[in-house]
Amino acid sequence: MFVDVSALESGAVLRTRVCVVGSGPAGMTAAVTLANKGFDVVLVEAGGRYRTAESQAQFAGEVIGDHYYDLSTARLRMFGGTSNHWGGYCIPLDYHDFEPHPRFPDTGWPISRSDLDPYLEPACEVLEIPNSFEEELVTPSLRRTRFQFSPPVNFGYKYDEFCASSDRLRVCLNSALVDFKLADQAIKSAVIKAADGREFSIDAELFVLCAGAIENSRLLLWINQKSGGRLVQESRTLGRYWMEHPHANVGEFLLEAGPEFFHGGPPFTQMASFSLTKQAQYDLGVLNADLLVEETAYHSSETKGLIADLLCYAPALGERLMGLFEKNLVCGARVRSHWEQEPHFENRVALDSTKSDDLGIPRVKLYWKKSEADRRTIVRTANEFARQIANSELGRVRLVGWVVDDGPIARQRFMGGWHHMGGTRMSDTPDQGIVDRNLRVHGTPNVYVGGSSVFPSGGYANSTLTIVQLSLRLSDEIERRLS
């Protein structure tokens, strides 16, 4: 049911078994799954049912480093969280994304993909996609797999009726976490501030923080600071190793095959994704990256133009393709990439001691810069992709200047995917991360963290599918704890 927060008296106490903070894909999945398992859950969401300028303004912050989106629009503070502007791209992380890369010491997870595999099918059901991510080798070093497109699921809309009718799940909107009260080492209650400034609290056995991969760090940094470091006892990595998936357009593509080569299935429900094999990545000293071939808005006149241009460089090939074009066998397309960013200690979420939001919580300062390894990853991957495509006679790629010239990454209109990761990374030891392999905060017995802030490495896969897998796994862990 939805709690009428405006009717709660100041100082009111709600008692439950599990308190979940945040109603996006991570929090909503955990809350609904736990309620379905029979546990009493209170879900608190800082925003309201709809997006408002006032609510979004609480997310404003400063970005230091590379050009990045306005932080007040790069995530959504409302029921359903950031799923309200999700594009629906789904693909699981690769098996080797979980392994430490030999060239990058801070990569790798304490768990393997096989720990998440049992949750792939149920996560696909949540996201309303088929569990179909078969991989094939196009050449010995180039793989092709596919994205599946969720409708996309909006978690607020999908679970609205469940939230309204459930007697296990209580939802408090316009209710922002501002503090945790500790008793000994454990959290006794969450202090919640309503939109009108009144405070109430939620007493629970377990708390799950799923506020997003900037807010998770910001809230923990703030509450830890107020508690004198009692909440996160080893906080060296708190807020650190923040990551995105940098995006770039890297070239244009003439295929001798038809568009089914890059659709991977029916258009707008699937899209082929090309990436180098693990061994090729290791040999080139690069992280994971995908190349998406998009026919969208690229039609016959532009394809003809590409072939005409190619005629200058390779007359024989150009003439052959011109002949194929008449038979409608040649397609023109654009190639774009989004890729894995090196986890870097200096990329971080920090508190701005000079500015606060309306709740009195310091605003965020996001330090984010792409490294030389990040630049090298896209340059080498795109060049290798183009060579493999040409050598296997699948088509020809014209790479953009900065890629062929091994230059700095050109400024992009879409410089990232709003894929926020890291800050509370998963680790086996508290000096290397904030949560353990079961997502519990090291040293604090009853606080868990959900969402992509726990990712130690980001691969190139869009985060939502993995976020849902992790929340389903976390729900099983909490069930074991409480049963």
Partner 1 sequence: MNTMKNAREESVGYFSTRREFNVTIAALLIASCTRLPVGSRSSSDRGRWILNERDH
Binding site for partner 1 (CB under 8 A): 49-51, 73, 76, 84-88, 152, 154, 156-157, 160, 251-252, 297, 302, 305-306, 308-310, 312-314, 316-317, 383, 386-387, 389-391, 393, 396-405, 418
Q: Which residue shows structure tokens 């190639």?
A: 335
DSSP string, 82-145: GGGG---EE-PPPGGGGSPBTTBTT---SS-HHHHGGGHHHHHHHHT-------EEEETTEEEE
User: Among residues 51 and 336, whose Cβ is nearest to partner 1?
Assistant: 51
How far apart, in whole angstroms, are the C-alpha atoms of residue 252 and residue 255? 10
Which residue number, 394 or 449, has a Cβ lying nearer to partner 1? 394
Residues 6+ apart with CB under 8 A from 455: 109, 213, 243, 421, 422, 425, 426, 463, 466
Q: Which is nearer to partner 1, 189 or 388 (CB)?
A: 388
Backbone angles phi, psi at 145, to 5 degrees: -130, -160
Q: How far is the CB of 258 from partner 1 (least distance, A)?
A: 21
- Tell me how far, at minimum, the Cβ of 93 lies from partner 1, in Å: 21
Supply the minimum distance, in Å, between the C-beta of residue 12 and partner 1.
27
Query: How far is Cα 196 from Cα 371, in angstroms, rounded to an integer?
Result: 43
- Tell me how far, at minimum, the Cβ of 140 lies from partner 1, in Å: 16
Residue with tokens 């909006």: 154
- CB 456 within 8 Å of CB 449: no
Q: How far is the CB of 24 from partner 1 (least distance, A)?
A: 14
Radius of gyration of the chain (CA): 24
Residue 74 CB, shortest distance to partner 1, in Å, is 9
With 0-12 CB in 10 A as exposed, 13-18 as middle and 19+ as buried, what is 373? middle
Q: 6 or 73, CB closer to partner 1? A: 73
CB 414, min distance to partner 1, A: 8
Between residues 166 and 475, which has the closer beta carbon with respect to partner 1?
166
CA pair distance 159, 213, nearest whole angstrom? 22
Cβ proximity to partner 1: between 313 and 345 the closer is 313
For partner 1, give the closer residue by CB, 87 or 258.
87
Provide the minimum distance between the beta carbon of 242 and partner 1 in the complex, in angstroms, as a whole number: 21
CA distances (Å), 75 to each of 60, 113, 390, 418, 455, in order? 10, 27, 40, 7, 18
Report in angstroms how near the CB of residue 212 gets to partner 1 at its nearest: 15
* Phi, psi at 291, each rounded to 5°: -125, 125
Measured from the CB atom, the residue of 37 and 320 that comes closer to partner 1 is 320
Q: Locate 229 and state its tokens.
A: 């470091």
Q: Which residues contact 283 (CB under 8 A, 6 or more apart)?
A: none
Dihedral of CA 165/169/170/173: which sign? negative
Question: Cβ closer to partner 1: 377 or 446?
Answer: 377
